[in-house]
Homo-oligomer: A and B are copies of this chain.
Amino acid sequence: MDEYKSEQKLSAILKATSDPTRRSLLTTLVQQGPSRVTELAGHYDMSLNSISKHIKVLEAATLVTRKTIGRVHLIEAQLEPINEIDNWFKNLRSIWDLRLDDLETILNKEFSDD
């Protein structure tokens, strides 16, 4: 996947998970396993349609998949994409550590006796 697409995907994942209702949906799905849209909506004081939209956002971010069996849509959580967040963070931290190492090197040179 090219850099731009990958950045876009990360944005989608982060944005999708930034909504409390959607995080809650993911948790419920992980707890219960694949669930129907109506069943999921039952947990919330919110219209079925709104939940349906939230599910579509999660789906667009590849955080859930859908298996349609007749008129029932089974929604299933996918955790792998969240690793992309993890990778981004790990990268950020490694850059951080790198800079601190550089600073240390500089300080050591500055104050060394040779």
Bound Cα distance from A44 to B18, whole angstroms: 25
Query: Which residue on B lies nearest to A90, using beta carbons?
Result: B86
Check A99/B18 contact, CB under 8 A, given A26-B92, A86-B86, A92-B79: no
Give chain B residues whose Cβ lies under 8 Å from the Cβ of A11: 18-20
Residues of A within 8 A of B (CB): 7-8, 10-11, 14-15, 17-20, 23, 26-27, 30-33, 77, 79, 82, 85-86, 88-89, 92-93, 95-96, 99, 103
- Check if B88 sits within 8 Å of A23, measured CB to CB: yes
Give chain B residues whose Cβ lies under 8 Å from the Cβ of A19: 11
Q: How far is the CB of A60 from chain B (nearest CB, A)?
A: 13
Q: How far is the CB of A98 from chain B (nearest CB, A)?
A: 8
